[in-house]
Structures are given as structure tokens and as C-alpha cells.
Amino acid sequence: MSPVAVSPLSHRRVDLAPSLPGLIETVAPASLAMELGIESGDRVVGINGLPLVDALDFQYQAQAEHVVLDVERRGSLLRYELELDGDEFWGVTFADPTFDGVRICENACPFCFIKQIPKGMRRSLYVMDDDYRYSMLYGSFVTLTNLDEADWRRIEDQHISPLHVSVHSTDPELRVALVGNPKAGRVMADLARLERAGIDFHAQLVLVPGVNDGPHLDRSLRDLATFGSRLHSIAGVPVGLSRHGQARQSKQLRLSRTCMRTLPGKTIPVRRYERHEALAVISQAERWQERFARERGDPFFYLGDEFYLMTGSPVPDTAHYGGFPQIEDGIGITRHFLDSVDSYLRRAKPNTLFGADGTVACGELIGPTMREAVGRFNGRTGAGLDVVPVENVYLGAEINVSGLLGGQDLLTAFGGRHDARPLYISDRMVSQRTGTLLDDMTIEKVETVLGRPVVPAADLSDVARDLRVRTRVRPQAAA
Ligand code: SF4
């Protein structure tokens, strides 16, 4: 296996570069790293005399048959010279998977959410990342506009797959305007290159009413349908517009000046979906889903849950989502949640949580669905949970999903209530990386101000588990 040339990134726009690149966070039991005595806190410096740029580079280079691994431990350099089979389980995770920082986007999308958020939130939220490594590792969407030839070669040679691509429109002129970058018009050629290289990919269309839905959406789906099995799914999500974003609409010309030079006179009016427009998108999607089900075996084009919830339409059933290929992007998360409730209630014995109570806080959009689910939960378990849909005061009431509520919203909704019962919030509100809420407030701070426990939970079985501990109700065997 010959090393792949990875171009230095110092000239690239990057952010959040770790102070200690290559720092090992965990070492798995029964792994090669553990066998070698490598420890958490060690730092990988290079392999075969070459520095590494990220965790993917490590995974690739460390699978060679002859590996010279340089590791730094408390200021000393350790060298491991290894003859390997080429399919080793190294079992290490890194504190920061990208040793050179996070690649920043070169775009100016008129709907960019990062430009819509106020000051004082989690620092990482202001990072306008467009990094193909994060796309492969965590499912973040990338536009591919900041890739140079060395990046493309690396993706091909190291087979960095799957990738998640923000397409928005396959019409070159419209995509240039939607992404605010003259390079954005080549998206079909970029996707064809991924396909030729055997890279799997998912596509996303952020839909802006009256801009890239209707006939433009038909064209995008028709064009994307020309790709074979490397394209796994397409998602259509409605554009999000915060209170701050609406106030800044007048500045959009300045935000997307690059694209204005390319397409003089072209403006993208960004606004939220009205109910009748969202219903039209659902009907249009259903026609395509039927066609894709016939031709490809599954609906293939999935709408964001917001379309169903904002129109009061039932969310599709589990079979529709075909394995939930874009659940990280929130596609089908409502059905997934309802499935988890059904599954829990099938197992739970009646009245095992009698006398236990607390409050479930959620975004306003999911409020009616959450009330119905918690009503069934209470009916089965005997618990007395109530549900409070919380208005997003911080970002604006138009942002109504649970995951974008901040600590300030909880303080506004629950402050001064003198209620000591546990408050359950979605674990999607809490950063896995920093443990803080969207506005950088800690859970402990919210608990202190409200005078009640605040518990992040993935679903109602997490809530049940916590209630059991608090009320010392003995866990019951599944029915
Ligand atoms: S790609 Fe567009 S939406 Fe994403 S960070 Fe860049 S400007 Fe914002």
C-alpha cells in the first residue's frame, strides 16, 4: 500500500484546530493499540515518517503491512516498528478526529443558519464547516465546493465513503445562487465523479418555498435519479429561518455578493413555508416516492418531519423510511420516537411507575405528538408526567424543534414555578462534545436556577429509567 499524498492544509481556511493534534482519547480492550501498551493521552505523531492529518489518515496508513508508528508520551518519543497483516483492529479514538482543524466553507448560502444565530452561543456553532471528513465520520452535509484536486484524489484513493452532499438544486445557475459560490454549478459532475470512484453518497435538498421546489424539485429528482446504487437516499428539508435571520433578510445581498457577481440581478427570497405550500411538497414527494418504490425498491426521497408536523399530516410509517438512512439529519425521527414509545409500552408492566411524576419539555412543533405519546405512557405506567411545549424565545418562535431550544428558553418557560420535580429534555439539546446547551449554558446552571433536576433523555424509556431510580420503584421484568 503506497502512502497517499495529502496536501498540507496550512493555506486552507480551517477553524478549531486542536492544540494537541493526534491526541488519543480511548483505547479499546483487546485491540492492537492496547497490546502495544498505547494509552489514552498519548499522541500519534506520524506513521512511516509522514505526519497524519486526521483519524481517517491514521486508519488508512496504519493498515499497511510495514508500519513505523511514532507516538509521543509525556514529552518522550516512542517508536513501534510493526509487521502487520493489513487488517488490524487498532481500537483507538482521537480527542479531535481532524488534527489540522475543521475545513471551513467557501459559500454564502442565503439561508445559512449560522449567519442567523445570535452572539453568545456555543463556540462550535459559529464554525461554518464544510469538511468531507466530518461528512464521512458524522454524517454532516458538505457542498463539495471547497475541494481541490488533492482532496478529490484523497477521497478516491482512501475511499472516504459515504459522503453526505447538500445539493439543493441540480440546475447549475440556481445552485450557484443557493450556495452563493460560482463553483457550485458543477454539482452533477462532482456527484458523477463520486459515483465513478465507487463512493457512496446521500443527497440533501434544503427547500425554499417558491425557489427550488415545484418544477425545480422535479428536475433535481429527475437528475439525481440518473445515479445508480451509489446514491442511497435524497432528503428534502424545509429552510429554517430564525428571528435573527428574518431581521437580516435585508442584508442577504451583501451575504451572497460572490454569487451576485456571477448572476447579477438574481436574488433568493428566503421565507418559511405556508401550510398549503408544505402540503403541495408532500403531494409532490408522494408521486416521486411511488415512482422510486417501483424503480428502486424504496421511497428513496424522504421529507423532513417538519413538513408533516407543520401541516398536521400523519408521519409516514416505519416501513416508509427503509432503515432510516438520514436519521442523523432528523429525517424520520418522529416515527423513530413513536416506535420507541410503542416498543417500551409493549414491554412495560402496568402501573410500575405509580406516583412518579415530572415534566417533559419539548419544542412546540412536536408538542401535540409528545402529549399523545406521554398520555399513553402515563396510562400504562401510572406515572403523572405532564408535557410543556417550550417557545424558542432565544432564536424566535419560528424555530420550533426541540433540538434547537437553549438554556435561556428553559429558564423563561419554567422560572419561578417552585416545582422540584424532574424536568426531562431532549438529549439532542445537549452537545456531545461540550455537554452544554445551544446557548453554552450548562445543565447544572439550569438546575441551579430552576431548583429542579434537569435530565436529558433520548426517549421515554430513558425517562422511565430515571423515574424508577428517583421513586425507588423496582424495575419490573418485561411482560
Ligand atoms: S455551506 Fe452554506 S449553509 Fe453551510 S455553513 Fe456554508 S454558507 Fe452556511
For residues 9 and 3, is the Cβ–Cβ distance under 8 A? no
Identify whether residues 151 and 262 lie together within a single domain.
Answer: yes
Ligand 1 pocket member 178 (CB < 6 A): no
| Confidence check: pLDDT of 3 > 80 | no
Identify whether residues 60 and 144 lie together within a single domain.
Answer: no
pTM of the model: 0.87
The whole-number pLDDT of residue 395 equals 85
**Bond before 269 cis per omega within 30 degrees:** no
Lowest mean pLDDT among 2-11, 35-44, 420-429: 2-11
Distance 450 CA to ligand 1 centre (A): 36
Q: What is the CATH number of the domain that holds 73?
A: 2.30.42.10
Residue 270 burial by CB count (10 A; 0-12/13-18/19+): exposed, middle or buried? buried
Distance 143 CA to ligand 1 centre (A): 8
Mean pLDDT of the 160-171 span: 98
The whole-number pLDDT of residue 260 equals 45
The whole-number pLDDT of residue 441 equals 94
C-alpha cell at 426: 431532549
| Confidence check: pLDDT of 176 > 50 | yes
Identify whether residues 322 and 367 lie together within a single domain.
Answer: no
Identify whether residues 399 and 287 lie together within a single domain.
Answer: no
The number of the ligand 1 atom at minimal distance from the alpha carbon of 141 is 4
The number of the ligand 1 atom at minimal distance from the alpha carbon of 105 is 6
Ligand 1 pocket member 206 (CB < 6 A): no
Ligand 1 pocket member 128 (CB < 6 A): yes
User: Reduced to 3 DSSP states, what percent helix, strand and coil does the chain have, rounded to the nearest 5?
Assistant: 40, 15, 45
The whole-number pLDDT of residue 353 equals 94
Q: What is the CATH number of the domain that holds 439?
A: 3.40.50
Q: Residue 44 and residue 292: Cα distance in Å, rounded?
A: 46
Identify whether residues 225 and 281 lie together within a single domain.
Answer: yes
Lowest mean pLDDT among 170-174, 238-242, 356-360, 443-447: 238-242
Ligand 1 pocket member 220 (CB < 6 A): no
Boundary-marking domain end, from 94, 125, 150: 94
Identify whether residues 15 and 153 lie together within a single domain.
Answer: no
Distance 166 CA to ligand 1 centre (A): 10
Q: What is the CATH number of the domain that holds 256?
A: 3.20.20
Residue with cell 425507588: 472
| Confidence check: pLDDT of 6 > 60 | no
Ligand 1 pocket member 108 (CB < 6 A): yes
Distance 310 CA to ligand 1 centre (A): 25
Q: How many domains does the chain have?
A: 3
Answer whether residue 106 is part of any domain.
no
pLDDT tens for 255-264 read 444 444 444 4
Identify whether residues 170 and 69 lie together within a single domain.
Answer: no
Mutate to test the pocket of ligand 1, among 107, 140, 147, 259 (most ligand atoms within 8 A of CB): 107
List 81's β-bridge partners, or say none.
68
For residue 335, CA distances in Å to 280, 289, 359 come to: 21, 17, 22
Identify whether residues 155 and 256 lie together within a single domain.
Answer: yes
The band of 114, judged by pLDDT with boundaries at 50, 70 and 90, is confident
Mean pLDDT of the 174-188 span: 94
Identify whether residues 40 and 84 lie together within a single domain.
Answer: yes
Q: Residue whose CA is closest, atom 2 of ligand 1?
A: 109
Distance 182 CA to ligand 1 centre (A): 14
How high is the mean pLDDT of the chain? Answer: 89
Ligand 1 pocket member 114 (CB < 6 A): yes
Q: Residue whose CA is closest, atom 8 of ligand 1?
A: 112
| Confidence check: pLDDT of 267 > 90 | no
Answer whether residue 88 is part of any domain.
yes
Answer whether residue 337 is part of any domain.
no
pLDDT tens for 289-302 read 999 999 999 999 99
Ligand 1 pocket member 109 (CB < 6 A): yes
Burial 427-465 (b: 16+ CB within 10 A, else e): ebbbeeeeebbbbbbebeebbeebebbbbbbebbbbbbe
| Confidence check: pLDDT of 128 > 90 | no
Mean pLDDT of the 279-307 span: 97
The whole-number pLDDT of residue 322 equals 87
The whole-number pLDDT of residue 266 equals 62
Q: Residue whose CA is closest, atom 5 of ligand 1?
A: 128
The band of 160, judged by pLDDT with boundaries at 50, 70 and 90, is very high
Nearest Cα neighbor of 333 from 466, 433, 428 is 428
The number of the ligand 1 atom at minimal distance from the alpha carbon of 130 is 1
Identify whether residues 454 and 431 lie together within a single domain.
Answer: yes
The number of the ligand 1 atom at minimal distance from the alpha carbon of 111 is 3
Answer whether residue 103 is part of any domain.
no
Q: Would you put residue 361 in left (φ > 0), alpha (ψ -120 to 50) or beta?
A: beta
Boundary-marking domain end, from 39, 62, 94: 94
Ligand 1 pocket member 105 (CB < 6 A): yes
Lowest mean pLDDT among 100-114, 190-204, 297-311: 100-114
Instruction: Specify the higher pLDDT residue, 231 or 394.
Output: 231
Answer whether residue 463 is part of any domain.
yes
The whole-number pLDDT of residue 243 equals 67
Identify whether residues 135 and 236 lie together within a single domain.
Answer: yes
Distance 169 CA to ligand 1 centre (A): 15
The whole-number pLDDT of residue 219 equals 98
Handedness of CA 79, 85, 86, 91 (dihedral sign): negative
The whole-number pLDDT of residue 456 equals 97
The whole-number pLDDT of residue 434 equals 80
Boundary-marking domain end, from 285, 309, 331: 331
| Confidence check: pLDDT of 170 > 60 | yes
| Confidence check: pLDDT of 359 > 50 | yes
For residues 164 and 127, is the Cβ–Cβ distance under 8 A? no
Instruction: Specify the higher pLDDT residue, 400 or 256.
Output: 400
Distance 106 CA to ligand 1 centre (A): 8
pLDDT tens for 71-81 read 999 999 999 99
Q: End-to-end alpha-carbon separation of the chain, Å?
A: 54
| Confidence check: pLDDT of 466 > 90 | yes
Mutate to test the pocket of ligand 1, among 14, 128, 143, 179 (most ligand atoms within 8 A of CB): 128
The whole-number pLDDT of residue 417 equals 87
Answer whether residue 109 is part of any domain.
no
Q: Residue 140 and residue 453: Cα distance in Å, rounded?
A: 32
Which residues constitute the domain of residue 316?
A: 114-331
Identify whether residues 201 and 299 lie together within a single domain.
Answer: yes
Q: Residue 85 and residue 184: Cα distance in Å, rounded?
A: 42
Answer whether residue 100 is part of any domain.
no
Mean pLDDT of the 297-317 span: 96
Q: Residue 109 and residue 178: Cα distance in Å, rounded?
A: 6
Answer whether residue 29 is part of any domain.
yes
Mean pLDDT of the 333-344 span: 96
